[in-house]
């Protein structure tokens, strides 16, 4: 399977992984070397508060195949991936997490699957070595995402996969400020396949993805990719208008029929608060979209690189 003509890049965002970097690089190196002698390992330090960057520096000094990209602060996983892809030069690019739950030894399998004629091959985890809270937060994330985006997502599918150069070029050419790697990649229409693989236990520590971060990620993806929340807000407003009209008609008829002799104070106050809350909800949804437009037109970069190592 070894093909010295194909260059392979492996991109991994690094956060709170100072004790995992060496094993990550070693296992990636041993796996990729079975495919090609022309490879690179792009490690992106996403403003990690520990000594992850120092660990990356050591690996870069020991092996010229390892490239280090240090972001100026924590921008988030999606933006760290985007930064790494900007520096990846391979004909095929692998994206994987740094916590070793994405098994580096599966890279040759992903590559072999891609050689069957696919531009995108994404790993689908068949074993979940996670606790109940992680399972719950993942399910909640995907339920919220599916409801508000109109798409159908798979909790077993992550960013781990291999992608052809033309797919990465399209992704890198997107001018959007808000980024979401896998949903955008899958929406391009390139021929894709899934590869079932195990998910290893996290090598050390706990995931930095809290339920709050997962929902923030969901709303970032939804706001940047679909206007369904706006359409839902319009539908909700129309529904409430119809309900309000019917209630008003009922009260008018009941008043004429003598059913209602005294208007209820509680009902009036409740109606005011309910309608006021509905208005704030709709305005809030509009505000989210306007905020994203504001972020886009400012022209600020999605990420800022502080320094690089072994990068031409």
- Which segments in the chain show pLDDT lower than 70? 1-4, 127-138, 140-142, 144-155, 200-227, 255, 259-271, 273, 277
Residue 264: what pLDDT?
Answer: 59
Distance CA 195, CA 28 (A): 18
Residue 123: what pLDDT?
Answer: 93
Please tell me whether residue 229 adopts helix, strand or coil conformation.
helix
Q: Report the interhelical angle of 211-225 vs 228-257 (nearest 10°).
A: 90
Report yes or no: 226 and 288 within 8 Å, Cβ to Cβ.
Answer: no
- pTM for this model (two decimals): 0.74
In tens, the pLDDT along 290-302 reads 777 777 777 778 8
Distance CA 65, CA 71 (A): 20
Q: Which residue has the tokens 């590869």?
A: 195
Task: Give strand pairing partners of 43.
Answer: 12, 68
Please tell me whether residue 307 adopts helix, strand or coil conformation.
strand
Report yes or no: 53 and 66 within 8 Å, Cβ to Cβ.
Answer: no
The domains of the chain are located at: 8-225+301-309, 228-298
Residue 265: what pLDDT?
Answer: 47
Q: What fold, for 8-225+301-309?
A: Spore Coat Polysaccharide Biosynthesis Protein SpsA; Chain A (3.90.550)
Q: Which residues, 6 or more positions from 216, have their beta carbon under 8 angstroms from its beta carbon?
A: none
Residue 242: what pLDDT?
Answer: 73
Phi, psi angle pair for 71, to nearest 5°: -80, 155
């Amino acid at each position: 399977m070894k093909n010295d003509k194909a260059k392979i890049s492996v991109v991994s965002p690094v956060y709170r992984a100072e004790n995992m970097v060496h094993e990550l690089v070693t296992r990636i190196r041993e796996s990729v070397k079975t495919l090609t002698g022309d490879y690179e390992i792009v490690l992106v330090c996403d403003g990690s508060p520990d000594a992850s960057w120092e660990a990356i520096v050591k690996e870069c000094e020991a092996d010229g195949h390892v490239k280090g990209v240090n972001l100026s602060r924590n921008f988030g996983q999606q933006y760290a991936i985007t930064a790494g892809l900007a520096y990846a030069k391979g004909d095929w690019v692998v994206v994987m997490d740094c916590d070793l739950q994405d098994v580096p030894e599966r890279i040759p399998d992903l590559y072999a699957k891609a050689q069957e004629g696919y531009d995108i091959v994404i790993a689908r985890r068949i074993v979940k070595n996670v606790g109940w809270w992680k399972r719950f937060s993942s399910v909640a994330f995907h339920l919220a995402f599916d409801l508000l985006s109109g798409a159908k997502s798979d909790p077993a599918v992550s960013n781990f996969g291999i992608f052809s150069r033309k797919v990465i070029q399209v992704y890198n050419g997107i001018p959007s400020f808000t980024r979401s790697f896998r949903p955008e990649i899958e929406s391009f229409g390139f021929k894709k396949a899934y590869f079932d693989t195990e998910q290893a236990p996290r090598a050390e520590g706990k995931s930095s993805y809290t339920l709050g971060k997962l929902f923030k990620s969901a709303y970032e993806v939804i706001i940047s990719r679909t206007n369904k929340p706006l359409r839902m807000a319009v539908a909700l407003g129309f529904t409430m208008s119809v309900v309000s009209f019917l209630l008003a008609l009922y009260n008018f008829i009941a008043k004429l029929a003598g059913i209602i002799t005294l208007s209820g104070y509680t009902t009036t106050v409740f109606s005011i608060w309910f309608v006021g809350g509905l208005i704030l909800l709709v305005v809030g949804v509009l505000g989210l979209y306007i905020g994203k437009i504001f972020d886009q037109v400012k022209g600020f970069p999605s990420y800022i690189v502080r320094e690089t190592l072994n990068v031409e």
